[in-house]
């Protein structure tokens, strides 16, 4: 069974490591602990049953709780499915931020760091042109550059 565990935001990897150590020490029937990129504040546990999952997370730092309904394998695969139709972002494209502190703002892409999955942009309609670096998954392309067509 798969369970979604709520954790302190940005502490997912640390919490997963702590829980993995506990599994190794106690031998609880926990089959996997997964940190999903883009799922801030949550980790996924695969455990024998809800009792085991709750025993694992009890009194552990950064753990806030467990969602009451377990996931089926089908629900989990839908949740983790990579969106193939996402448009790649290129230099000079115009993007709109769909999440994060710049949500709703439009900007022109100036640089791409694929290794870090970050883009550096200059906001459009800003009185002063200040470069901003943000994660690629927080923006979507709204206008492709003529150079990239």
Chain segment 40-81, per-residue pLDDT in tens:
899 999 999 999 999 999 999 999 999 989 998 888 887 776
Judgement on whether residues 7 and 51 belong to the same structural domain of the protein = yes
Rounded alpha-carbon distances, angstroms, from residue 64 to 4, 49, 69, 104: 11, 19, 16, 30
Give the per-residue pLDDT at 79.
75
- State pTM to two decimals: 0.57
**Does residue 121 contact residue 109 with C-beta atoms inside 8 Å?**
yes
Q: Which tokens hold the place of 81?
A: 């499915």
Looking at per-residue confidence, does 148 or 141 come out higher? 141
Judgement on whether residues 98 and 43 belong to the same structural domain of the protein = no
Last residue of a domain, one of 46, 80, 114: 80
**Number of domain units in the chain:** 2
* Parent domain of 104: 94-148
Q: Is residue 31 part of a domain?
A: yes
Judgement on whether residues 10 and 42 belong to the same structural domain of the protein = yes
Give the per-residue pLDDT at 137.
86
Judgement on whether residues 21 and 71 belong to the same structural domain of the protein = yes
Q: What is the pLDDT of residues 102-143, one digit of tens each?
A: 888 999 999 999 888 899 999 998 788 889 999 888 899 999
């Amino acid at each position: 069974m798969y369970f979604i565990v709520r954790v302190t935001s940005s502490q997912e990897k640390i919490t997963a490591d702590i829980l993995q150590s506990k599994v190794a020490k106690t031998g609880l029937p926990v089959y996997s602990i997964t940190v999903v990129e883009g799922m801030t504040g949550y980790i996924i546990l695969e455990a024998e049953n809800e009792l085991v999952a709750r025993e694992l997370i009890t009194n552990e730092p950064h753990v806030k709780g467990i969602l009451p309904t377990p996931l089926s394998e089908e629900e989990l695969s839908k949740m983790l499915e990579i969106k193939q139709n996402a448009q790649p972002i290129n230099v000079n494209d115009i993007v709109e931020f769909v999440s994060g502190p710049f949500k709703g703002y439009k900007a022109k892409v100036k640089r791409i760091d694929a290794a870090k999955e970050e883009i550096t942009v200059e906001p459009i309609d800003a009185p002063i042109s200040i470069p901003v670096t943000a994660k690629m998954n927080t923006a979507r392309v709204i206008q492709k550059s003529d150079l990239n067509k």
